[in-house]
Structure 1
Amino acid sequence: MIGDFLRCQDGVLTLAQARLAGVSQDAVNRRLRSGHWRRCGPGVYFVDDRPFTDAARIRAAVWSHGDHAAASGLAAAWWQGLTRFAPDLVEVTVPRNANGRRRPGSRVRRRDLTAADIVVERSLRVTALPLTAIEAAARRGGGAKLVDAALQRQVELRAMWTAHLRNKGRYGSPASRLMLQAADGGARSHAERLLVGLLSSAGMTNWKANFPVAGYRIDVAFPDSRVAIEVDGLAFHSDTEAFHHDRLRQNAISLAGWQVLRFTWLDLTEYPERVVAIIRQAISAC
């Protein structure tokens, strides 16, 4: 039974699980003295015959704060596959009345989460994906790309708004609200303004906004080079009908002899230099 726990739990084990498997407190102490087991927190151990992975580190940090603790923020985002890299500090959310203190390698947030905001994934309590996305996006090193990643995972924008409103007043709440507002209705126009600002800052001229081609309006056009630039808002993945219409529109513009470049809100905010370089290359090639 110990082996089953360790295989499924990244080498991390609790005292309760050890006792369930028939290991006494004395036997646990002997394993700790021998160095075969390592204490990670109160009643939480790592069996030191394997690498101490990021998954083991996050699991041990959460379990060290008790049965009602949950991974949140960037730790939950990594656990749920929204980001590639695990954070150095593991954010753990615990109930307001929870005992205990912050432990090395973790950051504690104290608030009461509803059942709707908690899921169990691979035997670990983590914040549910809608809440994870908006909280992690507001953390340093997060950003709107995590909201975008959640939308691509078919998380509804409405579910993120509901999670946000259910947890108002939490750390990072104002930043989350701004990102949700951008995704909810003005992200596309905001993206267009960002693009225009980039072009102006780069000293690029001879472009026109809302230029008519093939019965459609191009967001930004370089008529002399016949280069059309289309921009997508933060939530463009979540609207299937709009996505289909944009593809019909793009095909018609291409058939009219224009080269079409598409950029997302994230491209413009995260990689502005790359956007400008691609536009310059397209214009110079014509």
Structure 2
Amino acid sequence: MSAVDIGEMSAAQRHLVLTGAVAAGSSSAAVVSHVSAAVVHGLPVWSIPLARAHLTRNRRTGARTGGRVMMHAASIESDEVVQIGDLRVTTVARTIVDLARTVPFEQAVVVGDAALRLGRTSRAELAEQLVRANGWPGCPAARRVVDFLDGRAESPGESRSRVVLRTAGLPVPELQPTVLDIDGGFVARVDFLFPTLGVIGEFDGMVKYRSNFRHGSPESTVIAEKLREDALRALGWAVVRWTWPDLDTPDHLLTRLTRAAAFAHRTPRSGTWHPADHECPVPTHRRPK
């Protein structure tokens, strides 16, 4: 593979190449784990370092860190390993719990939400994995992550938004509810809805605009978004939108949410809304993220 090819790869793709090379040169007893396993499983790994491939050996001691590898030493049961191509990899449930024990809360939530959304693991599997990890370093942190996970978050940006909103102490929002007009007609399916605040929150990722532009002009996309938002406001909802930079420094976003709630309390609402049918919905009438 040429240097040009490597340069055109995403960070995750480059890490996958690194992981394959490191695993091939390691003991056959080593299992791809942690962030490397998440990459192999195709899960998003926002803001988790990818400079080293992570592997785990089924033993109590012998963990080491090298220039290209971080070798973990921990118990691994046979049913916690799956074969993906030439690689032996920890299962998604084991991977999520390993990450939740070892990376910051926000990064772990991004991976875990996606795993639930995609149906790659279940709450029952995660609960079982937590039981097995009881007493391991970082297990209390892993429990907090697993308790917070929600497969209705449809993108890393929405998962990060959930963490920001929780940290700010705001009421827990409904995720992906459907808003109806006074006649029961469909108006929109939204990212976040705060029933007690009268506020709807929308995370705007750039993928949404690139996707919509392929199906229409930039002007038609902007107009459609404006009409959708106007319809929500006409029902009495205050609408607040945010993007990736707002999540990095959220003080201004939180101020806007507070002001929107104050306005909404002075505005009568009509129509109704319904929660998502289940935690891992099949998106309908959605704005691509």
TM-score (norm 1): 0.52
SS at 2:103 equivalent: coil
Query: How much has 1:127 moved relative to structure 2?
Result: 0.8
Letter of the 1:131 partner, please give it. R
**Contact 1:228–1:260 (Cα < 8 Å) also in 2:** yes
Map 1:59-78 to 2 at 5 A: 59-78=20-39
Aligned to 1:136: 99
Letter of the 2:237 partner, please give it. Q
Identify if the C-alpha distance between structure 1 residues 71 and 192 changes in structure 2 by more than 3 Å, giving closer, same or farther: closer
Residue of 60, 75, 87 corresponding to 1:112: 75
Higher relative contact order (CA 8 A, sep 6+): 2
Identify if the C-alpha distance between structure 1 residues 191 and 164 changes in structure 2 by more than 3 Å, giving closer, same or farther: same
- Unpaired runs of at least 5, structure 2: 8-13, 151-161, 173-181, 183-192, 203-230, 265-289
User: Aligned equivalents of 1:183 and 1:51: distance in 2?
Assistant: 34
Query: How much has 1:159 moved relative to structure 2?
Result: 0.9
Aligned to 1:150: 115
User: Aligned equivalents of 1:102 and 1:88: distance in 2?
Assistant: 11
**Contact 1:71–1:93 (Cα < 8 Å) also in 2:** yes
Residue of 199, 219, 224 corresponding to 1:228: 199
Identity %: 17
User: Aligned equivalents of 1:274 and 1:77: distance in 2?
Assistant: 33
Aligned to 1:279: 257
User: Aligned equivalents of 1:136 and 1:192: distance in 2?
Assistant: 20
Letter of the 1:150 partner, please give it. A
SS at 1:62 equivalent: helix
User: Aligned equivalents of 2:50 and 2:91: distance in 1?
Assistant: 18
User: Aligned equivalents of 1:152 and 1:79: distance in 2?
Assistant: 17
Q: Does residue 127 of the first structure (1) align with residue 90 of the second (2)?
A: yes
SS at 1:76 equivalent: helix
Aligned to 2:41: 80
- Unpaired runs of at least 5, structure 1: 1-10, 12-46, 198-213, 222-226, 232-252
Is the radius of gyration larger for structure 1 or structure 2? 1
How many residues of Structure 1 are paired with residues of Structure 2 in the alignment? Answer: 193
Q: Does residue 257 of the first structure (1) align with residue 235 of the second (2)?
A: yes
Aligned to 1:166: 132
Identify if the C-alpha distance between structure 1 residues 280 and 130 changes in structure 2 by more than 3 Å, giving closer, same or farther: same
**Contact 2:57–2:71 (Cα < 8 Å) also in 1:** yes
Letter of the 1:144 partner, please give it. V
Identify if the C-alpha distance between structure 1 residues 268 and 68 changes in structure 2 by more than 3 Å, giving closer, same or farther: farther
Q: CA RMSD in A?
A: 4.7
